[in-house]
Chain A
Amino acid sequence: MKFNKPIKVAISVLILIVLLLMPKWGSDRFINIFILIFLYMSMGQMWNLLAGYAGLVSLGQQMFIGIGGYTVAVVCQSYNLPLWVGLIVAPFVCTLCALIISLPIFKMSGDFFTIGSWIVAEAMLLFFTNWSFVKYGFGFTISAGRVLTLTHRYIMALILGIGSVLVVYIALRTKFGLGIMAMRDNEGVSKVRGVKIYRTKLNCFLISAFITGLAGGAMHLFDGYIQPYAAFSIDWTVTMVFMVIIGGIGTIEGPILGAFIYVFLRQYLLNFPGVSMLIFGAIALIIILLAPKGIVGLLQDRTGFELFSVRRSIKAPKLPDKPESASQNT
């Protein structure tokens, strides 16, 4: 299935209109599900930007959820400022934190970065549980979100979800983005080409902190409650990993698909309390083993396979060409 550009644009616009008009026709339950899908989609996109494109397998993304959430809580609750101030401040606080955190953890590579990011997140959790200003481990009620209607929340989530997709898309289609791709494919070569790997990776990390922090802020604003053990829980990152792995790591479509699968599966698994994370873990494990490129990768391989075989049939008669001419000469 190959679409040319106008058709692609037309389909995208159509989908966008349908999504925008959803509050007009969707049921409350349906809209609530889509709010979750868009929020998780943005988190998944950001983890994918790190792990799939920048080669930074982070297990510390929950710290931005937590910091984002707490910033909203502190701004709106402790200082009684309007909620939009909280939502504007939160991503910047997260980005600033990411910048500071990058000083130690960007000195680590590979597995060390992975665990290093996790240690930072755990340290952050402990710090928040020991911090009187945020009421230790007891948490906050965030009442600012109560004024939001379902439509408000939906539009905010929609902007976040679509925005995260656009950000990744733009990042990959611009000069900055080319750097990312080159970096993932071959660090040595792109170093020679002069792509500033450190800067590019850092940019990815900052972008992911910004959007994940915003998602964390919105999530807790909608929930109306924040508590450190839940806000800084590794389960957030587990969810991101799940969505990206099952959808397809290193693809833009992967986390979109992953978010849909995750949210619907979670709705279904609500009937079986306690087993949901177990099942998500097991599914992710199976996918890594059997289809490491996820569902989108499988589909691409399918279509790629056809392309491949076409290429082969063109190439096949040519293959023995050289050696045959060699033996003809004898």
Chain B
Amino acid sequence: MSDTGSILKIDNLNVHYGDFQALYDVSMEIKKGRVTSIIGSNGSGKTTLLNTVMGINKPTSGSITLNDKDISGMRTSKIVADGVTMSPEGSSIFEDMTIKENLLMGAYLPHARKRKTELVEKAFSLFPDLREKSGQLASLLSGGQRQMLSIAKAIVTDPQVIICDEISLGLAPVIIKDIYKKIKEINAAGMTVLLVEQEVKRSLKHSDYSYIMVKGRVVMEGVSGELPEEEVSSAYFGINKYA
């Protein structure tokens, strides 16, 4: 992993909701061109972390740097303009707009707007299912298709880093497999991917490097292939060691 530089760096990040501290000194390094995964259960702080990276929450202390530029505390749309975007948990699609319009909205930023036809075409070729339905309202899509549209929309913004939050939540295994295949293709095309998952095995399988979060802290990290799955699982489930 040392051959590529890091693109997104999180340093000693602390986040509070009022009196409640949600993140404790979280540090991470997302390497360029890799798939990094964050594994954690509900309440582990991973969504808080993502929301803070995306400027939805403000950090109490610590920094988030993208290509050596501090982006912590910036407005979400500015962070997106700087090259990070997220396909959030649940739905971020525009229900009362067509699939095509949803994707065209991805090309909102000036640099993408110029190439909007090309970028939307790229998204369609990655997700051919969406092309078939391009004139339909997004509200008519199935759960899996919504997830794909959400990712496709994020790709059209032509980001350097794409964050995918819980993309497998509530989906059938066949569809999950399909979506992970797409993630691989996206990464192969040169995009840095940050996956966030609850499922240990799947995350380790589909990523290059992993961080395991428990109760707002990073408790384990390592090259995905080298991390012993059982130990990750016990950390994850809080058996003995970390509870």
Contact = CB atoms under 8 A, between A and B. Distances in A.
A273 interface: no
Contacts of A329: 240-243
B46 interface: no
A326 interface: yes
Contact of A330 (B19, B21, B215, B241): B241
A319 interface: yes
A327 B216 CA distance: 12
Size range of the chain A interface in the assembly: 10 to 19
B215 A326 contact: yes
A326 B242 CA distance: 5
A326 B241 CA distance: 8
B127 interface: no
A327 B240 CA distance: 11
Contacts of A323: 24, 215-217
Interface in B43-70: none
A316 to B, nearest CB: 10
A107 interface: no
Contacts of B241: 329-330
Interface string A49-79: 0000000000000000000000000000000
Contacts of B243: 326, 329
A135 interface: no
Nearest to B235: A330
A322 B242 CA distance: 11
Interface string A276-313: 00000000000000000000000000000000000010
Contacts of B215: 322-323, 326
Interface string B16-47: 00010100100000000000000000000000
Contacts of B24: 320, 323
Contacts of B21: 319
A29 interface: no
A326 B214 CA distance: 10
A80 B243 CA distance: 83
Contacts of B242: 326-327, 329-330
A238 B215 CA distance: 50
Contacts of A327: 242
A180 to B, nearest CB: 26
A5 interface: no
A175 interface: no
20 contacts: A312-B19, A315-B19, A319-B21, A320-B24, A322-B215, A323-B24, A323-B215, A323-B216, A323-B217, A326-B214, A326-B215, A326-B242, A326-B243, A327-B242, A329-B240, A329-B241, A329-B242, A329-B243, A330-B241, A330-B242
Given A329-B240, A329-B241, 17 more contacts: A312-B19, A315-B19, A319-B21, A320-B24, A322-B215, A323-B24, A323-B215, A323-B216, A326-B214, A326-B215, A326-B242, A326-B243, A327-B242, A329-B242, A329-B243, A330-B241, A330-B242
A-B pairs with lowest CB-CB distance, top 7: A330-B241, A326-B242, A323-B24, A323-B215, A323-B217, A319-B21, A326-B243
